[in-house]
Structure 1
Amino acid sequence: MTLPVANTRHLFFTGKGGVGKTSLACATALRLAEDGQTVLLVSTDPASNLDEVLETPLCGQPTPVSQVPNLHALNIDPERAASAYRERMVAPYRGILPDAAIRSMEEQFSGGCTVEIAAFDAFANLLAGSVITNAYDHVIFDTAPTGHTLRLLTLPSAWSNFLSTNTTGNSCLGPLAGLEPNKQLYAAAVAELTDRDHTTVVLVARPDTSAFREAERTRIELADLGVRNLVLAVNGVFKATSPDDVIARAMEAQQAAAIEAMPRGLAALERSQTGFIPMGLVGLRALKAYLHPEQIAAPQTVPGLSVELPGGLLPLIDELEKTRHGLIMTMGKGGVGKTTVAAAIALELAQRGHNVLLSTTDPAAHVAWTLQESLPGLSVDHIDAALEVDRYRNEVLATAGAYLDAQAKAMLEEDLRSPCTEEIAVFRAFARTVDEGRDSFVILDTAPTGHTILLMDSAEAYHREVMRTQGDMPEAVRQLLPRLRDPEFTHVLIVTLAEATPVHEAERLQADLRRAQIEPYAWVIDQSLLASGTHDPALAERGRYEAPFIERVIKQDAKRSVLLPWQATPPVGLHGLEELSRGH
């Protein structure tokens, strides 16, 4: 086992939910502290369980970690910071603008952009040489700013007061409009982040094809923004100890093939590799066992399940089939298997004689690759984000931009280059796809978030109030919100893994959807080792660690739940997808 090498003062760990970035950040911090270095470990992840991992109650100020000299940690809550910032921005307009306008502003400040900026605000104050961080040899950040955040901060109009009075409604740059006083601080933070002598960004990925694709996208995005001191941490590499266990052999072979075939740019990075561990890395004892397995005995036995395991996909598909048409959306964070679940459901419905359109809005999702074969009645589509952005940008400039002076129009054009313009443009294309669900099944892999839906809803309400040209709105867009909120037409499936971070993030997604008046239909727990039948000691013990998260989903989160076992046959192609949908 090798952890990332800390050659710079700042280390940022980034990666999709559930890849183990918190575990690796904590283990790296503990190793440095044991070597006599003073370390500050920082998390701004809303789903962080850093307190639990370190067995220390944390707050927004450095707190000594119990039993670990030289190590301090702090846990900043960006949701709370975003809430305070939202009220600071909206309050001056209460009683001045119409209620619909205030609701539109509140929604604009309620989404992921505001949370990202609030998180970056915390990063910036720590990165730019604050009194807090000057006392430490190393500052380690669990959850780095995304490329999305950095793109926002590099847009010149992000610092313009124009956005605070913008009435087009569809911008995500509004959350940055009040940050002008901190412009120099943020510029210094971005400079520090891109300084390869001071900062290293660790891309954390599990050894599977989809995780490597996601990491490669992040690498390219960050490199384009000037963040080039990147290293790769491959986490959870498994070596089978039971040669007669089908699951163990298959996992080792699949991981080896994924590592061998990883994208060239990713493979060229300096790489560390950590092995598969059956225990959950929660608590200092577990962390020390991870670093010093030869010194510490195996962790205590994990309690078993107190509920019956849910069934597989077939009973769920039987229920969905009764509607005869409509929209089925698989939603969840990257790497949890939503593309596979969407393809398996689409295949089964098509084999039952239904007309099915399988589509995606995710540029990293390869539904055609997942299916690999054609089938009568099954169409595969992809919403081209670049094409839709161009179409949407031209439309806005021809309407809202037609009455602006040169300066305001230039700012609007800059606004339309923001990352969230893509979200809105894709949403409109999504409306056209959903419209086909009137007389067939539309299965969408990666749907717009609840925040996007609310943003469109509040913006449309505001447009109606100020007499904008709503007569030109396509009928598919006009009908979209009612359709998404119609439980007879739309069925949302939340896909997750039986692990802490994916479950916590799925719970946040569900809350977001409910805020948009969309009630999820079912939860799908994917890639379960507990349900796989493995008897390999390491895999079986890892399966037992899934138990509390499976119970949480069944008892607390889901009205209906499905549990899919980890598949020895890769869930790709017609045979692999049939195995997934018709198995356990």
Structure 2
Amino acid sequence: MQFLETPTRNLFFTGKGGVGKTSMACATAVQLADRGLRVLLVSTDPASNLDEVLGTALASHPTEVESVPNLFAMNIDPEEAAREYRERMVGPYRGVLPDAAVASMEEQFSGSCTLEITAFDEFAKLLGDQNATSSFDHVIFDTAPTGHTLRLLTLPSAWSGFMDDNTSGTSCLGPLAGLQAQQAIYKKTVSALGDAEVTTLVLVTRPEPSAFREAQRASEELQSLGVQNQHLIVNGVFQSQTPTDAIAVAMQRRGDEALAAIPQSLGELPRTTIKLANAGLMGIDSLRQVGQPEAVGSDQEAVSPVSLVSSASMTDGLGALIDELAAPGHGVILAMGKGGVGKTTVAAAVAVALADRGHQVHLSTTDPAAHLAATIAADELPGLTVGRIDPAQETADYRDEVLETAGADLDAEGLALLDEDLRSPCTEEIAVFRAFAKAVSEGTNRFVVLDTAPTGHTILLLDSALAYHREVSRQTNQISESVENLLPRLRDPDFTRVLVVTLPEATPVHEAAKLQEDLRRAEIEPFAWAINQSLNPLEVTDPALRHRQQHELQFIDEVKSKLAKRVALIPWQVDPPTGLEGLRDLIGREAPVG
């Protein structure tokens, strides 16, 4: 990997969900540690899977990876960081102030803003405070999917600016005194991010148009934040070894076409190309081979055709779920899962199928990195509307509404304080949450299909209901009907159906299993699982694809036997499933039996 020839001290890995950020970050960390350098690998993803890839149980502090001398890794745990922050702020007042006052303080520090800023606080200590990582030669950040990453990297400027301008001494986080001590570290963090001698931003993508678009967006936004030192990894590039294998030829063709049309700004970046691995990159030995010539690509070892008796051979396609989804005549369908597993495609295909049956359907997204427009915007279908929850617009609308209602009877000083409070970085989260609740409420008289954000963001969104109530009541006493009824609607299996979307690979399946656990804790029972882009229903002869086909079986069987009540197996598509006809093919094409 080219960027490892003269690596900077800090290395960030970012990109669209599911492109292999964690694998590339782990491979980089292992290979640097093998040189005798002391390396700290940090995940800032709320849904981290470093533990699984490295085969080591990690904590919120540096933990030695026993199989790799010099390598330490850790997960930043937002929940734990928030608990520690609340106790640091509230603890000194226990037994001093009345219990009611202490309870009020605890409530004020329980919002989603506290969760986000305290997670960032931990991140800033590692990047902005060199003493915290002085014993390491390199610090590598395995960041969350792009939308979360951009918000995370924007926070140093946002919070520093907010603290510089705020005159009231309070915010959605409560008293700002708890943050002022960190302001110097935040400013050093901003400086470190923009220093090309210190920090490299590694954009990870796959040879797919949507992944390239997302990488381009991330690159441009990060450059606007001053992060100029960027490197591109194109991961999972496939080269067919079997000209007679139509699937292999189509897979290479799709990758070649995407690479030929790579956005100019990305094409100008220094680039590393990583071949498609025969199986998932799990374990230290496989990570050591990443980027080595011929190490992780296809090999010539003969592989028998898939002949195991597996539940994969008895699994229906996505079309088998549509009749049951359509039966109530209205309601909400949520496509949820790890980033990059195909939630957008599955949501769009379900929406088209429902509209084809004569239902009124609205398809929308809460994902900051939405791709629905590229999927079906050019087509028209009676009964189907397509939209997006736009964070910028929702935030502006929310600010205007609060100023008009809660600010109507305030004097000039009070109005100024309210306006200042609404300029805090937390306001966007509140506004988007309100729009999500409104979208769900529209399922009372039609179908609403939501392509939701990646797992960590989605769970934070769903879990923030009570915190949202508390936060809004601080700015306005008006709570909308859609917010009041959100959780009951999400918990009603006759109103809301959750489709857990995954890929037949270790990380997506196990992360989807965690998502299902979180949903069940919130008393939301998933309706079905959709295993996307599977090679198992297809006839392949290319040795690399046969390796991957056999590798899939264990994960398909795990979903069928242990995790899901209903399962749909969606084959990998020769042609990208875009446009109405492509989405109809996805629904109509079922996995063959036998």
Q: Which TM bucket (shorter chain)?
A: 0.7 to 0.9
Matched letter for residue 151 of structure 1: T
Q: Which secondary structure state, in structure 1, belongs to the residue aligned with residue 501 of structure 2?
A: strand
1:81 matched residue in structure 2: 81
2:499 matched residue in structure 1: 493
C-alpha change, 1:498 and 1:103, in structure 2 (3 Å) is: farther
Cα distance, 1:67 vs. partner? 5.8
Cα distance, 1:89 vs. partner? 4.0
C-alpha change, 1:537 and 1:194, in structure 2 (3 Å) is: same
Distance of 2:117 and 2:541 partners within structure 1: 46
TM-score by length of 1: 0.85
Q: Which secondary structure state, in structure 2, belongs to the residue aligned with residue 328 of structure 1?
A: strand
2:583 matched residue in structure 1: 577
1:550 matched residue in structure 2: 556
Structure-to-structure mapping, 1:5-24, within 5 angstroms? 5-24=5-24
CA contact (8 A) 1:158 1:177 kept: no
Pick from 154, 164, 173 the counterpart of residue 157 of structure 2. Answer: 154
Q: Which secondary structure state, in structure 2, belongs to the residue aligned with residue 178 of structure 1?
A: helix
Cα distance, 1:512 vs. partner? 4.2
Deviations 1:427-463 (A, max 9, x none): 3334444444333222222278343344344443687
CA RMSD of aligned residues (A): 3.8
1:445 matched residue in structure 2: 451
1:243 matched residue in structure 2: 243
C-alpha change, 1:405 and 1:538, in structure 2 (3 Å) is: farther
Distance of 1:467 and 1:204 partners within structure 2: 40
1:232 matched residue in structure 2: 232
Instruction: Note the residue ranges of structure 2 that are not aligned, 5 or more in a row.
Output: none
Larger mean Cα displacement after TM superposition, 148-157 or 269-278: 148-157
C-alpha change, 1:529 and 1:175, in structure 2 (3 Å) is: farther
Structure-to-structure mapping, 1:368-517, within 5 angstroms? 368-371=373-376, 372-402=378-408, 409-410=415-416, 412-446=418-452, 449-460=458-469, 469-470=477-478, 473-517=479-523
Deviations 1:467-518 (A, max 9, x none): 9643xx5544544443333221111222222334433443444444444443
Matched letter for residue 574 of structure 1: L
Pick from 298, 304, 311 the counterpart of residue 308 of structure 1. Answer: 311
Cα distance, 1:523 vs. partner? 2.2
Cα distance, 1:274 vs. partner? 1.0
Larger mean Cα displacement after TM superposition, 318-327 or 486-495: 486-495
C-alpha change, 1:579 and 1:102, in structure 2 (3 Å) is: farther
CA contact (8 A) 1:4 1:271 kept: no
- Paired residues, number: 572
Distance of 2:232 and 2:179 partners within structure 1: 33
CA contact (8 A) 1:31 1:291 kept: no
Distance of 2:295 and 2:527 partners within structure 1: 47
Distance of 2:463 and 2:35 partners within structure 1: 50
Matched letter for residue 396 of structure 2: D
Identity %: 52
Deviations 1:102-123 (A, max 9, x none): 7854641xx4x55554443343
C-alpha change, 1:503 and 1:387, in structure 2 (3 Å) is: same
C-alpha change, 1:260 and 1:307, in structure 2 (3 Å) is: same
2:192 matched residue in structure 1: 192
1:318 matched residue in structure 2: 323
Structure-to-structure mapping, 1:84-99, within 5 angstroms? 84-89=84-89, 91=91, 96-97=99-100
Residues 1:348 and 2:358 are matched in the alignment: no
Instruction: Note the residue ranges of structure 1 that are not aligned, 5 or more in a row.
Output: none
C-alpha change, 1:449 and 1:142, in structure 2 (3 Å) is: closer
CA contact (8 A) 2:332 2:440 kept: yes
Matched letter for residue 317 of structure 1: I
Matched letter for residue 72 of structure 1: L
CA contact (8 A) 2:391 2:428 kept: yes
Matched letter for residue 460 of structure 2: H
Cα distance, 1:528 vs. partner? 1.9
CA contact (8 A) 1:238 1:255 kept: yes
Cα distance, 1:93 vs. partner? 7.2
CA contact (8 A) 1:496 1:506 kept: yes
Larger mean Cα displacement after TM superposition, 294-303 or 240-249: 294-303
C-alpha change, 1:141 and 1:397, in structure 2 (3 Å) is: same
1:335 matched residue in structure 2: 340
Distance of 1:467 and 1:237 partners within structure 2: 51
C-alpha change, 1:540 and 1:185, in structure 2 (3 Å) is: same
Larger mean Cα displacement after TM superposition, 15-24 or 501-510: 501-510
Larger mean Cα displacement after TM superposition, 242-251 or 383-392: 383-392
Pick from 351, 358, 366 the counterpart of residue 361 of structure 1. Answer: 366
Distance of 2:445 and 2:320 partners within structure 1: 23
Matched letter for residue 341 of structure 1: V
CA contact (8 A) 1:103 1:458 kept: no
Structure-to-structure mapping, 1:158-237, within 5 angstroms? 171=172, 173=173, 178-237=178-237
C-alpha change, 1:270 and 1:114, in structure 2 (3 Å) is: farther
Cα distance, 1:100 vs. partner? 8.6
C-alpha change, 1:414 and 1:261, in structure 2 (3 Å) is: farther
C-alpha change, 1:154 and 1:480, in structure 2 (3 Å) is: same
Distance of 1:174 and 1:551 partners within structure 2: 49
Structure-to-structure mapping, 1:57-68, within 5 angstroms? 58=58, 65-66=65-66, 68=68
Cα distance, 1:344 vs. partner? 0.7
Larger mean Cα displacement after TM superposition, 76-85 or 12-21: 76-85
Distance of 2:122 and 2:302 partners within structure 1: 37
C-alpha change, 1:196 and 1:143, in structure 2 (3 Å) is: same
Distance of 2:518 and 2:561 partners within structure 1: 20
Q: Which secondary structure state, in structure 2, belongs to the residue aligned with residue 449 of structure 1?
A: helix
C-alpha change, 1:93 and 1:554, in structure 2 (3 Å) is: farther
Distance of 2:106 and 2:135 partners within structure 1: 44
1:269 matched residue in structure 2: 269
CA contact (8 A) 2:394 2:431 kept: yes
2:544 matched residue in structure 1: 538
Q: Which secondary structure state, in structure 1, belongs to the residue aligned with residue 290 of structure 2?
A: helix
Distance of 1:300 and 1:161 partners within structure 2: 67
Distance of 1:432 and 1:60 partners within structure 2: 36
